[in-house]
Structure 1
Amino acid sequence: IGAGLVSSINRPTGNVTGIAPMFALLGTKNLELLHELAPKATVIGVLANLSNPNAEHQAKDLEAAARILGPKLVVLAGSNEREIDSSFATFAERQIGALVVTADGFLISRRDQIVTLAARYGVPTMYPLSQYVAAGGLMSYGANLSNAFLQTGIYVGRILKGAKPADLPVLQPTKLEFVINLKTAKGLGLTVPPTLLALADEVIE
């Protein structure tokens, strides 16, 4: 809606429909989970591709959560590989004790770089998708991409059979998943509280 592609979720009206992963609405939960695992982090970095218009919406959601939970947020540029490297290099100077990676196509394509840097700098990091955790990241909370792709395929089939995109509501994820990598937590010297383990949909050991 913010990008002007559709007029509403339930009734797109234009010739566009699809799947809305709700990334901009998950900031509070992401920050809560990260804060529970790294409560001593008073400054939390937010890695974002600032060339993506959706980055602003995600940052605002995180800022609203930070006002409740207390930590200071620092937005870090991640629009290209060099910016990602440079942003991590400022962690000590900025006293960043934890990190949230925002949802973005470019950033997930650089997940190996980001996960490696998070380990190198010893920073507990929350990711938007489980693909980061499978690559060695600490933990993620967000949409199940496999389920989203399945929903997309169903819509494509309906459109090919003659359905109008304007008549198909924009779908939102039916499944959100919380994934933790215990091996990564151990490498960071973190003990995952039983309360977090109880919430996890998947635990990687």
Structure 2
Amino acid sequence: MRRRTVLAGLGGLLAFPRAARAQADPALPVVGYLGPESPGPFASRLAAFREGLAEAGVIEGRDVGIDFRWAEGRYERLPDLARELVARRVAVLAAPGGAPVALAAKGVTATIPIVFEMGGDPVALGVVQDLARPRGNLTGVSSLSVEVSGKRLEYLHEAVPGARSFAVAFNPTSPTAPSQLRALHEAAGTLGVQLRISPVRGEEDFASVFAEAAALRPGGLVFTSDPYFALRSRLLADLARRHALPAVTQTRDFPLAGGLMSYGGDFTQTHRLAGLYTGRILKGERPADLPVQLVTKVELFVNLAAAAALGLTVPTSLLVGADTVIE
């Protein structure tokens, strides 16, 4: 995997998605798109999803319409929004954006094809019975990025070797939170460090989480894998700078916005593959015949400017292993 160097000034690279139609062309089949957030934060993911559709020979507006429902970060709304799309008799229900979206979609229909995209293990979470033969009406893509939460702590400890305690922020509504916390505790035991676990139930909790983590100096803050955190990368990076706090999240968006580092799956690849599967199902293939795709690529981003501002010298071993170093 070749390491890349990215220069500063990357803001504005992600174009805002085309405005969603209030009503799709009635002559076209419709994909129901269930999103956990809003169109703005999902811009790059939507672009990747449309690329996948195009790879299957399906173009929005020409071959298919897309009807969107956005939960605006409120996961409890997902089941009702999924029911709205089912009531529209959509041809395929696209459920990218994590396990909560997939489980909400699965809970409202056993007949409409569903294509999910998540970071957790779809078998362990009860989304499908088998990866190679998913059976039923669901298939999709998993990056298994929730499996690397412990490694995220290891990398942050390598960047801040004098730390003896770290804070961990997790989303208590996430079905993957228990397994991620177990992995983090195991990693902490191996490293000989203490963890302070803090639930985040909404954006109002971030200020106290960062303030408490900053009091652990010279520690840092580890975020579990969760779309809620991933799609608030700019906010998290701003808070990390304000509190002069080393932090690591799952998505490259965090170091690109000025945070220290990230370690997780490539969301553009997983969303593109979800779009590809959606297109193939629209062309007649069955979800049961499409094995769940596992994206095994996990990428490490390190922001050297953020490290310098924190007074940290990133070890050469960490830089050599990084996929992308931002200077």
TM-score range normalised by the length of the shorter chain: over 0.9
Q: What is the aligned counterpart of 1:72 among 194, 214, 237?
A: 194
Q: Tell me whether 61-70 or 183-192 shows the greater mean CA deviation.
A: 61-70
Q: Tell me whether 183-192 or 77-86 shows the greater mean CA deviation.
A: 77-86
1:166 aligns with 2:284: no
Structure 1 residues 118-141: Cα deviation after superposition (integer angstroms, max 9, x where no partner): 122222111101011111111111
Report the identity percentage: 40
Pairing 1:184-195 to 2, within 5 Å after superposition: 184-195=306-317
Task: Name the count of aligned residue pairs.
Answer: 205
User: Following the alignment from structure 1 to structure 2, what is the Cα–Cα distance between the partners of residues 138 and 93?
Assistant: 18
CA distance 1:50–1:121, shift in 2 (3 Å) = same
Secondary structure at the aligned position of 1:90 is classed as helix
Question: Does the 8 Å CA contact 1:19/1:151 hold for their aligned counterparts?
Answer: yes
User: Following the alignment from structure 1 to structure 2, what is the Cα–Cα distance between the partners of residues 14 and 86?
Assistant: 44
Match for residue 178 of structure 1? Answer: 300
TM-score between the two structures when normalised by the length of structure 1? 0.92
Question: Does the 8 Å CA contact 1:147/1:175 hold for their aligned counterparts?
Answer: no
Q: Tell me whether 87-96 or 183-192 shows the greater mean CA deviation.
A: 87-96
Q: What is the aligned counterpart of 2:235 among 102, 113, 128?
A: 113
- Displacement, 1:28? 2.9
Letter in 2 for 1:98: G
Match for residue 203 of structure 1? Answer: 325
User: Following the alignment from structure 2 to structure 1, what is the Cα–Cα distance between the partners of residues 184 and 281?
Assistant: 36
Which structure is higher in helix share? Answer: 1
Letter in 2 for 1:49: N
Q: Tell me whether 137-146 or 91-100 shows the greater mean CA deviation.
A: 91-100
Structure 1 residues 174-205: Cα deviation after superposition (integer angstroms, max 9, x where no partner): 42211111100001000111111111111111
Letter in 1 for 2:251: L
Secondary structure at the aligned position of 1:185 is classed as helix
CA RMSD across the alignment? 1.7
Question: Does the 8 Å CA contact 1:23/1:58 hold for their aligned counterparts?
Answer: no
Unaligned regions of 5+ residues in structure 1, if any? none
Question: Does the 8 Å CA contact 2:143/2:296 hold for their aligned counterparts?
Answer: no
TM-score between the two structures when normalised by the length of structure 2? 0.59
- Displacement, 1:92? 4.9
Match for residue 85 of structure 1? Answer: 207
User: Following the alignment from structure 1 to structure 2, what is the Cα–Cα distance between the partners of residues 85 and 100?
Assistant: 15
CA distance 1:92–1:99, shift in 2 (3 Å) = closer
Letter in 1 for 2:275: G
User: Following the alignment from structure 2 to structure 1, what is the Cα–Cα distance between the partners of residues 187 and 136?
Assistant: 33
- Displacement, 1:91? 2.6
Q: Tell me whether 166-175 or 141-150 shows the greater mean CA deviation.
A: 166-175
Q: Greater CA radius of gyration, 1 or 2?
A: 2
Pairing 1:47-62 to 2, within 5 Å after superposition: 47-62=169-184
- Displacement, 1:94? 5.5
Larger relative contact order (Cα-Cα within 8 Å, sequence gap ≥ 6): 1
Match for residue 166 of structure 2? Answer: 44
- Displacement, 1:9? 2.2
Match for residue 138 of structure 2? Answer: 16
Q: Tell me whether 85-94 or 99-108 shows the greater mean CA deviation.
A: 85-94
